[in-house]
Structure 1
Amino acid sequence: MRLGKIDYLNLLPFDVFIKRFPLSWQSKAILAHRKSYPAKLNRDFLFARLDGGFLSSIMAYGKRGMRLPCGIISHGEVWSVLALPKEAKGDYQSASSNALIQVLRIHAEVLIGDRALIYKLKGGEAIDLGKRWLEQKRLPFVFGLFCVSKNKHEAKRIASAFVRSRIRIPWYLLKDASDSRGIHPKDVLSYLQKISYRLGPKEKRGLEVFYRELLFLGIRSPKRFERRRDAISSKSL
């Protein structure tokens, strides 16, 4: 099975989990190789270069059958999805967050992932989109989803085991992640406390509310969203 993974700190617990999970060495090798930012993995999935993995939640918009009960979720502040007080501009690494800022009616620059986390920890001025979503909707926000196009039984086995597991991150992996990104280990652990992975009833409700808002905006697919985002960016120049 060809799985991809968002190469951000928010999936460090999944890295630890998958190393111990009974999966073929070929699948683990592909997963280790297919690490990138969300928008890149979305394209690989659309063009069938991947069978699944952690993708932007917008990828499952209108396609219930491909999503599994596992995602990248915030219940308020997320620290790594920000709106900067700059000219309106999407983040090339993003898909869901570029749509979210439209839903929230915020005119600013989107910054996501480890770059956003570093910006936040340095005290940069920004609106935390996870916090703003909770303030407006009183629901969690699902930034990413574990999605598949085939081998759903095997993928569901992985996702179900992951959300049930209690992950303890070994010090050497925590230190490696810390050193490679220039973030103190304590800040890494504080950040991971902002993230959850189980897609329960409230999380599913938050996801459906997000999809409903996309429908109101006329965003019906990832491809249409990319065209709309490009049009908005060109108008703001």
Structure 2
Amino acid sequence: MSASTEQHTKISMKLGRIGYLNVLPIYEPIESGDPDVLGDLDFEIVSGPPSYLNDRMAAGELPISSMSSVEYGRRHEQYLLIPDLGIGSRGPVQSVLLLSRKPIKELNGGGILVSAQTHTSATLLRMLLADHYGLDSLRYTTGNATAILESGERPQAILCIGDEALTLRRHPDYPVRLDLGEAWREWTGLPFIFGLWGVSRKTFQEQPAQLRAAARALLASKRAGVAKLPSLLPAVSQTTGMTVDELTDYFAGLVYDLGPEELDGLRAFYAALARHGIIDSAPALEFIDI
């Protein structure tokens, strides 16, 4: 094989993608084949809700992927994080919502339906309601909120995330809405990071150069996607039913960087998980060196 041919050999790799609108700026340049972002990489996108990607990462089936923040907390020894890449909010997030038929403080003793798609948001909700609202007698069940509502059932309260939350947030039977990003900010004064991007430690030991290249591509895609986001929104509006103004407001509330304040918020979340006995101890944040 000549040096020229070898130079242009594509590096194929599976890449996990949250199947929600909120990560559009991170993945759009990759998915549209931007050569300045991809270089010699050829990604096979594996898409699904956070819980699905968590399971695939834990099973060692994805070398690089987005994951729930709680997944890193539970199995951090299996992962290295990609620096300066996350999905969260500094206040209202709009797509992680507790929808209730009665005031939040009147929920004690009742039940909450939790989307099966979430791990981090479900854990955050339990801690928020216990510590911030003093609600310690709640029943949690897991299910498909959209399907249950379409069947005519009306649970007392529903935790929904992602695109489902954007669809259900103005449901007339659920006049009370608790935005978990906003509630966390009120509780701690910090941003909340719902998701992270990481690589398999095992795969990184075997293919460090390839995974560093993939991590750099994701960061380049984030920068390019955020820059071109306004030009993408008219087409997104056609497929989501949200107006361009609504989409602009939604994306303005999201953060994709892991700056000092975001990292403090992440550490505070892990400290709370440890305090509640959900994890043994708060993990160190270990990043891939790119």
Shorter-chain TM-score range: 0.7 to 0.9
SS state at 2:66 partner = strand
Instruction: Tell me what 2:276 maps to.
Output: 217
Paired residues of 1:81 and 1:129 also in contact (CA < 8 A): yes
Paired residues of 1:118 and 1:183 also in contact (CA < 8 A): no
Shift of 1:186: 2.4
Instruction: Tell me what 1:127 maps to.
Output: 178
Root-mean-square deviation (Å): 2.3
Instruction: Tell me what 1:167 maps to.
Output: 227
Structure 1: unaligned runs, 5 residues or longer: 222-237
Q: 2:42 aligns with which of 26, 48, 58?
A: 26
Structure 2: unaligned runs, 5 residues or longer: 1-12, 102-110, 131-137, 139-156, 205-209, 281-290
Query: How does 1:32-181 map onto structure 2 within 5 Å?
Result: 34-61=46-73, 63=76, 66-69=80-83, 70-85=85-100, 87-105=111-129, 108-120=157-169, 125-149=176-200, 150=204, 151-165=210-224, 166-169=226-229, 171=231, 173-181=232-240
- Distance, in Å, in 2 between the alignment partners of 1:193 and 1:208 is 24
Paired residues of 2:90 and 2:185 also in contact (CA < 8 A): yes
Q: Which has the larger radius of gyration?
A: 2
Paired residues of 2:66 and 2:196 also in contact (CA < 8 A): yes
Instruction: Tell me what 2:17 maps to.
Output: 5
TM-score (norm 1): 0.81
Question: 1:202/1:159 Cα in 2 relative to 1: closer, same or farther (>3 Å)?
Answer: farther
Segment drifting more, 114-123 vs 134-143: 114-123
Segment drifting more, 181-190 vs 118-127: 118-127
Paired residues of 2:51 and 2:117 also in contact (CA < 8 A): yes
Shift of 1:125: 3.0
Instruction: Tell me what 2:8 maps to.
Output: none
Paired residues of 2:96 and 2:160 also in contact (CA < 8 A): yes
Paired residues of 2:86 and 2:256 also in contact (CA < 8 A): yes
Shift of 1:134: 0.2
Q: Report Cα offsets for 1:173-215 as digits up to 9, x if no partner.
A: 5344333332223212221111111101110110011011111
AA of the residue aligned to 1:112: I
Q: Report Cα offsets for 1:114-162 as digits up to 9, x if no partner.
A: 1101223567531000000000000000011011113541233124324
Question: 1:122/1:109 Cα in 2 relative to 1: closer, same or farther (>3 Å)?
Answer: closer
SS state at 1:167 partner = helix
Aligned residue pairs, count: 216
Q: Which structure's residues are more often helix, by fraction?
A: 1
Q: Which structure's residues are more often strand, by fraction?
A: 2
Query: Share of identical aligned residues, percent?
Result: 33
- Distance, in Å, in 2 between the alignment partners of 1:25 and 1:201 is 30
Paired residues of 2:54 and 2:67 also in contact (CA < 8 A): yes
- Distance, in Å, in 2 between the alignment partners of 1:188 and 1:176 is 11
Shift of 1:170: 6.7
Shift of 1:25: 6.1
AA of the residue aligned to 2:227: I
Query: How does 1:184-223 map onto structure 2 within 5 Å?
Result: 184-220=243-279
